[in-house]
Every structure is written in C-alpha cells, then in structure tokens.
Amino acid sequence: MDKIASKPAASRRKGSKRERTRAALITAAGDLIRDHGYEAATLEAIAAKAGMTRGAIYGNFGNRDDLFAEVVLDRWTPVTPEYVPGTSFREHMARLGHAYAAAARQRALVAVHAASFQLQVRRHETLRRRVAIQGRQIIEDAAEELRRLYPDEQLPMAPVPFIQALAALGEGLMAAYFADPEAYPEEVFVEAFKAFAGR
C-alpha cells in the first residue's frame, strides 16, 4: 500500500471539520473492505459505519471511485526497510526481502478482501487510472530515494525500472505465499531480493 500529496487518514483526524469527516469516511471504507470485502463497502454501509449520511460522502468526494482512491492512498503503504547507514546494496536487498516476508505475514489475514478490491480496480477504468497514477508516483519517489542511497553503477538497471521490478517481485512472492505459506519461507524472499543485487 505514503509520499503522495495526501496524508494518511490517521494524521488528518486533528484537522478541520472537513478533514476529520473525510478521514472518518476513508477509515470506514477501508475497514469495511478489509473486514468484509469490496462488495460490502456500499455507500450506505460506509456512511453508517462512519456515523454519517450518504450526503457526507458526496459532500467530500466526487464519487465512490474518488473515495476508494483515497482508501488506496491511506492503506497502501509501500514495503520499505529502514536504511542502515554503511550497509552494502546487497545487504539492503536482503533487508527488503525480510520486509516483504513480514508484509506477507501481516497481509495474509486480509488477502482475499484485498484481492476483491484489486479486481474492482481492474473493472473500473477511472479508478484503475487513478490508482495507476498514485502507483507511478510511489515508484518515482522510491527510485529517487534509491538514487540518494546508492550510486547508479551499483544498480543492475536504471532506478525506475529497477523499483518496478522489485515491486513486481515482492507482490508476486506475497501472492505465492498467500496460496502456500509453507512453500515460501522468509529465506525465499531474502534470497530472491539478494539475487537482484548480483554477486
């Protein structure tokens, strides 16, 4: 799941009344998707969970897709390990493998509902485009951070496609872990990410 031009809902709860209302609606929608799936996150259910009316939703978001795009921003935090100064690029990749393995264990509990939401993103072109724009910004931010930490000559490819490849590897490993956790222990994640660093 941020460095996009939106603060997570938790940090907006102390702002203006409008910010608090938006944060409550985003939280309610995210919780419904997490606990019951995308289909259960109707506007009526979201409003009821937030203790508001449907009008509050339309007063704060253009439509349902706008609300769900904000849920993605609020809940989709990129998997990033804490950088330890002085570590080699290979060691950093090993830490990224550990971070993805930990994320897989945490996200396994809501994997089915997350998958149902992703399916809806694919079915709704406006929402898909909005999520894609957010995803590209996250990739750009991560590539910029990578450039800051390691010189280009230590990377196996240019920073943006490299981050894209790492994200695809991580998401793929997590999907495989959700299907068969015993076949994908943490060492598989770590070795896969270390392989990206070369020998």
Give the pLDDT confidence score for residue 101 in this predicted structure: 97
Determine the length of the chain.
199
> What is the model's pLDDT at position 4?
27
Contacting residues for 39 by C-beta, under 8 A, at least 6 apart: 116
Average pLDDT over residues 14-30: 88
> Each residue of 56-109: pLDDT tens digit?
999 999 888 788 878 877 777 788 888 899 999 999 999 999 999 999 998 887
Higher-pLDDT residue of 121 and 162 is 162
- Where helices occur in the chain by DSSP H, the ranges are 9-12, 17-36, 43-50, 54-60, 64-75, 89-107, 111-123, 125-149, 159-179, 186-197
Is the pLDDT at 187 greater than 50? The verdict is yes
- Report the C-alpha gap between 25 and 46 in whole angstroms: 7
Distance (Å, whole) CA 131 – CA 134: 5
How confident is the model at residue 49, as a pLDDT?
95
Q: How far apart are CA 15 and CA 19, in angstroms?
A: 6
Average pLDDT of span 109-132: 79
Identity of the residue numbered 119: L
Q: Rounded to whole angstroms, how far apart are CA atoms 190 and 129?
A: 32
Domain ranges within the chain, ordered by starting residue: 9-65, 89-197
The pLDDT confidence band at residue 5, using thresholds 50, 70 and 90, is very low
CATH assignment of 9-65, given 3.90.180.10, 3.40.50.300, 2.30.30.90, 1.10.10.60?
1.10.10.60
pLDDT beyond 70 at 52: yes
139 pLDDT band, cuts 50/70/90, is: very high
Phi, psi of 93 (to 5 degrees): -65, -35
Q: In terms of pLDDT, which residue wins out, 45 or 69?
A: 45
